Amino acid sequence: MPITVGTDTAKTRKTLTVGNQSVAYYSIAAAEAAGLGDFSKLPAALKVVLENLLRFEDDGFSVSVDDIKAFSEWATKGGKNPREIAYRPARVLMQDFTGVPAVVDLAAMRDGIVALGGDAQQINPLNPVDLVIDHSVMIDEFGNPRAFQMNVDREYERNMERYQFLKWGQGAFNNFRVVPPGTGICHQVNLEYLAQTVWTDTDQNGEEVAYPDTLVGTDSHTTMVNGLAVLGWGVGGIEAEAAMLGQPISMLIPEVVGFELTGAMLEGTTGTDLVLKVVEMLRELGVVGKFVEFFGDGLDRLPLADRATIANMAPEYGATCGFFPIDGETLRYLRNTGRDEDRIALVEAYAKENGFWRDESYKPVYTETLSLDMGTIVPAISGPKRPQDYIALDVAGTEFGKYVKGIREGKDASANAEIRWEGEGGQPEPRDIPGDEGHHQRGYVMTDDGHYQLHDGSIVIASITSCTNTSNPYVMIGAGLVARKARELGLNRKPWVKTSLAPGSQVVSEYLEAAGLQEDLDAIGFNLVGYGCTTCIGNSGPLEPEISKAINDYDLIATSVLSGNRNFEGRISPDVRANYLASPPLVVAYALVGDMNVDLAKDVIGQDKNGNDVYLKDIWPSSAEINALVEKTVTREAFISKYADVFKGDEKWQAVETSDGETYDWPAASTYVQNPPYFQGMSKDAGSINDVVNAKVLAVLGDMVTTDHISPAGSFKDSTPAGQYLIERQVPVREFNSYGSRRGNHEVMMRGTFANIRIKNEMLDGVEGGYTKGPDGAQTSIFDAAMDYQGNDTPLVIFAGEQYGAGSSRDWAAKGTALLGVKAVIAENFERIHRSNLVGMGVVPFEFTGGDTRKSLGLTGEETVTIAGLSDVKPLQEVSANITFADGTTKDITLKCRIDTAVEIDYIKNGGVLHYVLRNLAKAA
């Protein structure tokens, strides 16, 4: 949007001349000279935020001189000064799973503003918005040359209603662009093309102004671009919509943890191995709500691709962002990926002039620090269900055996001793299974080519996928070389492994083809299946029916290995219980082995054409081999060519027909896009915050309940409430698609809330899935129970443990919670994005205090809860709650209200942030 500057910012506004270009900028040094404080020791990540406030100081956007001075005080107070500030990112990034509901909300807001007497054109993004369609392709077809085209065809068949809606939005809204399907993953497109590191725009006087490139995104891995020194993080769609419409993001000046990297990576290790160790260390430290900034001489030997991998996984280590300052490597990457030379010169000059440049003199103050010698990194994976569960590769099989034993302990192994067999032919003899005796169940699969045996630990999915690693040419070239060496020795994937390659951008295919490596990957089953998130988001597609049947008939602990960032329970595939994150070369190696019980670093992985044992070292490429191919094939010309028509799309996209008009003509029969109820019947005036009185408990949940548990993204069955809804509307099971693809329909998503197949409600004993006790005490679905309670006007609460809402930024985890009638969520602590999303939907988050937990209180879900004193509650205030137990006894406890800022009080009073924005726009009409 055009930059508006206040009258008092002249003292910090300066001019920078670079070559033939002259731009205005807001000088931190000038702010120091004006007596606003000493900012010289601020980390670069905080300087970005400071510049943002300088640019909007005293212009009617609620930025004061005291806000700016607070940054100087931050440095003198040991890196802590949690003052509330108003921050305005330069742009917004979306993907289609989260972007469709955001555009649905904007369309509904247009209806809402018209109903309140306003103009539909008041609802328009003021900041640039890019939506990249990357979450919709599923791996239906794999392992053959036709896989890509067949998956694309099915993608359009499934998602035409959504694509028509997004095309309408592209035409109806200003500042809104759509990157069509088949282009790449949003974070990789952002890193390789959209991001500029230093942004430029014109102010109200027509003068060009330079400032740091910043953004928020409706995907938690928006943080990836921090590897390019672009400050960005994930927010829920509701917060992103508010930011688009000019609403500042209310935040506290964060603590900044400095993470020092020293030394250099050893031969045979990858950036993935490094990031998995970083995730483990930072999760152990605890960085939720904090910035992490990486520093140290190790950065001199860390390519930007590896930096982006580390920045990408900030949600996995819990931080708001993982930031890398601008340095020579930043410039090299900008140049190699095709950015304009004038822009690169501006980035260097601006960074050096305004104190953002990292060199040997860069020694800022941090809140706290930790250090890692990269020379200590070893090959590793993480799993089976959390990204922070780090496992060195040489003990991975042993650790898996312990995991299986833990699951099987106490179960009667003999219950599966009689192998059930269906089909013709003889039954093969069981072979010995590695690991603890009595803890491996076995299932036989008959195919046209014969039969094979599955058991606990059989790897049924091996997927090179996700923004985390497919943006990194070093590990992608490495994967191709592993495939080449394996192929030369005569190795191939095991027949039960579903293999796939889903690059994050078309550039990846360009350099794999140029290196001749795609042919090698194809030969062992890693054919191109599409450009998108695929397996990482749960779009792994169905397994072969006979494999799925064997897994479920014999209750096998099947596994997956993927080069992604998320391995939460129930996310990757409904048939797969254990999921492991690994580098792309290791994904290829595990596909050759097909068994998680193997210690890949030291065990035999197969036999060559001559019957000789092959070890991982025999197929692992050297750093010199990888670097030579990267240097030869990853070219500036490839990036320029592939991004030349990034918004145009193929003939399929161009053929998508849509309606026009300022407001959307909601199709009544659509099961993908429906007008949500948020703004219907809304008055012009806000209400107040109501006490929670005599609320019933909808669920009692444990630790690390993720947004995948709360609002799953993957497939669902016809027996679920969401499936029944679609069946009633004559949608066949084959066309169900996924929860993520149906986020434009609140009716589906309400029914999918708390419906993950692995979620455990402690109100029930030993039951997995979206169940609870209804008003009559009988077990029922969470959706049905919530509707029964709503019919009686009974408010609901959720109890939970630590790290509630970890994981994806999906706003439907909060939207669904609100639509089910939940008024409060009471947990030990919250992850940053989900807490914000709850507030944005009018649901009040509370934290236990004084050592109280759901366990110490003995909560069973039979309680009645009243929380008083909310009508005049202040940010972070402690309030009293009364719990009445099933036997009639009562207990008063103290809760901390996690409405963190003053503006969030207004959001709750209005019923949510979008209601707040809509009412303000209506009043201004």
Who contacts 476 (Cβ-Cβ below 8 Å, separation ≥6)? 464, 469, 470, 503, 508, 511, 512, 584
> What average pLDDT is seen over the chain?
91
Q: Are both 406 and 537 inside the same structural domain?
A: yes
CATH of the domain at 453: 3.30.499.10
Q: Are 98 and 134 in contact (CB under 8 A)?
A: no
Nearest to 555 by CA among 411, 447, 761, 451: 411
**Predicted local distance difference test score (pLDDT) of residue 419:** 27
Is residue 101's pLDDT more than 80?
A: yes
Spacing of C-alpha 133 from chain mean position: 15
390 & 359 share domain: no
Give the three-class secondary structure for 459: strand
H-state helical runs in 209-268: 237-244
**410 has pLDDT over 70:** no
Strands 198-202 and 231-234, bridge-based pairing: unpaired
Taking the C-alpha atoms of residue 572 and residue 559, their distance in angstroms, rounded to an integer, is 10
pLDDT surpassing 50 at residue 7: no
The percentage of residues in the chain with a pLDDT greater than 70, rounded to a whole number, is 94
Chain Cα centroid distance, residue 724: 28
Query: What is the C-alpha separation between 248 and 245, in angstroms, rounded?
Result: 9
The answer on 371 and 255 residing in a single domain is yes
Neighbours of 560 (CB within 10 A): 30
If you count them, how many residues does the chain have?
925
Residue 187 lies in a domain: yes
Q: Is the dihedral of CA 394, 398, 404, 407 positive or negative?
A: negative
| Residue 531, in any domain of the structure | yes
Does the pTM exceed 0.95? no
pLDDT band at 57 (very low <50, low <70, confident <90, very high): confident
pLDDT, tens digit (0-9, with 9 covering 90-100), for 527-545: 999 998 988 888 899 999 9
Listed in order, strand segments (DSSP E) in 46-128 are 84-87, 91-95
Element of type H or E holding 264: none
- What is the pLDDT, as a whole number, of residue 82? 92
Q: How far apart are CA 897 and CA 881, in angstroms?
A: 11
Residue 385 lies in a domain: yes
Within-domain flag for 836? yes
Last residue of a domain, one of 344, 376, 408: 376
Tokens for 454, please give them: 């599955």
Contacts of 510 (CB under 8 A, 6+ apart): 633, 638, 641, 642
Give CA–CA dist 416/432, Å, rounded. 16
Query: Do residues 359 and 404 both lie within one domain?
Result: no
Check: CB of residue 907 under 8 Å from CB of residue 687.
no
Note the pLDDT of residue 120. Answer: 94
Residues 357, 398 share a domain? no
User: What CATH code is carried by the domain that includes residue 776?
Assistant: 3.20.19.10
Whether residues 462 and 599 share a domain: the answer is yes
Structure tokens at 542: 């169905």
* 350 and 444 inside one domain: no
How far is the CA of 188 from the CAs of 221, 506, 508, 638, 681, in angstroms?
A: 10, 10, 10, 15, 41
How far is 658 from 647, CA to CA, in rounded Å?
Answer: 17
Of the residues 599, 616, 638, which one is the last residue of a structural domain?
638
Domain tally for the chain? 3
Q: Which residues of 813-828 are buried (b: 16+ CB within 10 A; e: fewer)?
A: bbbbbbbbbbbbbbbb
My answer on whether 332 and 389 are in the same domain is no
Q: Which residue has the tokens 């950036």?
A: 271
Element (H, E) at 695: strand 692-700
Residues 500 and 628 in one domain: yes
Peptide bond into 621 cis (omega under 30): no
| Enclosing domain of residue 828 | 692-711+753-924
Both 350 and 393 in a single domain?
Answer: no
Give per-residue pLDDT as tens, 160-200: 999 999 999 999 999 999 999 999 999 999 999 999 999 99
Classified as helix, coil or strand, 310 is helix
Are residues 400 and 304 part of one domain?
A: no
| CA proximity to 323, closest of 599, 57, 721, 47 | 47
Q: Which is it for strands 214-217 and 231-234: parallel, antiparallel or unpaired?
A: parallel
Regarding whether 281 and 169 lie in a shared domain, the answer is yes
pLDDT at 412: 33
Largest Cα span, the chain: 87
427-456 pLDDT tens trace? 333 334 344 444 456 777 766 666 888 999
Pairwise CA distance, residues 490 & 607, whole Å: 8
